[in-house]
Amino acid sequence: MTLPYIDLLLKQIARGHPELERSFGRHIHWGYWPDPAAADPTSAADYGQAAEGLSLELIALADIRPGMRVLDAGCGFGGTMACLDEQVGGLDLVGLNIDPRQLARGASLAHPGPGGRMTFVAADACTLPFADASFDRVMAVECIFHFPSRAAFLAEVRRVLRPGGVLVLSDFVPAPAWVPVTRLARSPWFDRVNLFGSCDVTCSAAGYRRLAAAAGLPVTVLRDITRHTLPTYAFLGQMLKASGRRGVAERWGKAGLAMLDFVGRTGLLRYSLLRFERA
Ligand SMILES: C[S@@+](CC[C@H](N)C(=O)[O-])C[C@H]1O[C@@H](n2cnc3c(N)ncnc32)[C@H](O)[C@@H]1O
């Protein structure tokens, strides 16, 4: 399965696109601005720093220490792994992705520091090719909504985590009143016309707590950080304008971004960080 936005990103990067390299060349996720009012939507460097900021928030939540073995599921270009190697160091890092093209770029960018190790594995996050109890931490940055099943992923993470192990992830979590609307958006037709491909954002906070308890991996932190991610939409709007797209593509793009901004601001869809702990 390939995702349209990833195809587009890889194509543009291969053609040579310095702005895209700076903004999405290392991380393929939303930005985190500690002070959203200070964001500069015209600056790719500002966006790249905010994308790094999101990885740092999740790394802090995961409480990762030197010597640990860490799995980054849905690792993209390995940006969170690189950030972990630079910030913590001395880690055995494994990046997993369903798309070998992203892993090849991740491997070419990976330069682990002294005592650090990085390996890249092509597989589906819902069938992890690893032994039971073989990781201290698992991360899944802004990707679980693409996985075939949250329940299957959580069960696999529970299996590969050592006792006391931790999973952290980020996801778009709908308010209870918005869940029926997110279910309406689950259709093969919408998956085909939508730049983001197949996305399941139907899991509410209560849904997460239920799934996690059933998997034996209870939720211990659920933090709504939407406010800190909102400048992402203004930046993507600038990128759309600069791309020269006109007509239907531009109108769809603008409408999609305005809708995401609206559901974020109104609390209908909450960009959230979650931590789960294996007893
Ligand atoms: C928004 S990107 C996030 C990438 C990376 N975590 C980051 O933050 O830079 C979503 C990622 O999920 C990956 N993905 C989608 N379905 C997957 C699956 N079933 N198993 C593993 N990775 C998957 C995609 O290939 C893509 O790299």
In the predicted structure, residue 1 carries a pLDDT above the cut 70? no
Distance from C-alpha of 120 to C-alpha of 149, rounded to nearest angstrom = 22
Question: In angstroms, rounded to a whole number, what is the distance separating the alpha carbons of residues 176 and 259?
Answer: 18
- The DSSP code sequence of 123-155 is --TTS--S-TT-EEEEEE-S-GGGSS-HHHHHH
Tell me if 28 CB under 6 Å of ligand 1: yes
CA angle 2–195–3, rounded 5-degree value = 10
Pocket test for ligand 1, best of 84, 98, 127, 128 (most atoms within 8 A of CB): 98
Q: Is 125 in the pocket of ligand 1 (CB under 6 A)?
A: yes
| Cα of 3 from ligand 1 centre, angstroms | 9
CB 202 near ligand 1, within 6 Å: no
Atom of ligand 1 nearest to the CA of 27: 9
Binding site membership of 93 for ligand 1 (Cβ less than 6 Å): no
* pLDDT confidence band for 192 (50 / 70 / 90): confident
Q: What is the mean pLDDT of residues 207-229?
A: 98
Q: CB 15: neighbour CB atoms within 10 A? A: 8
Instruction: Specify the pLDDT at position 249.
Output: 79
User: Residue 177: is its pLDDT beyond 80?
Assistant: yes
Structural domains in the chain, sorted by start: 4-277 (3.40.50.150)
The closest-lying atom of ligand 1 relative to the alpha carbon of residue 99 is: 25
Q: What is the per-residue pLDDT for 125? A: 98
What pLDDT does residue 74 have? Answer: 98
Q: Find the mean pLDDT for residues 23-49.
A: 98
Q: What is the pLDDT of residue 73?
A: 99
pLDDT digits (tens, 9 = 90+) for 65-102: 999 999 999 999 999 999 999 999 999 999 999 999 99
Higher pLDDT, 158 or 247: 158
CA separation (Å) from 5 to 20, 29, 48? 13, 11, 17
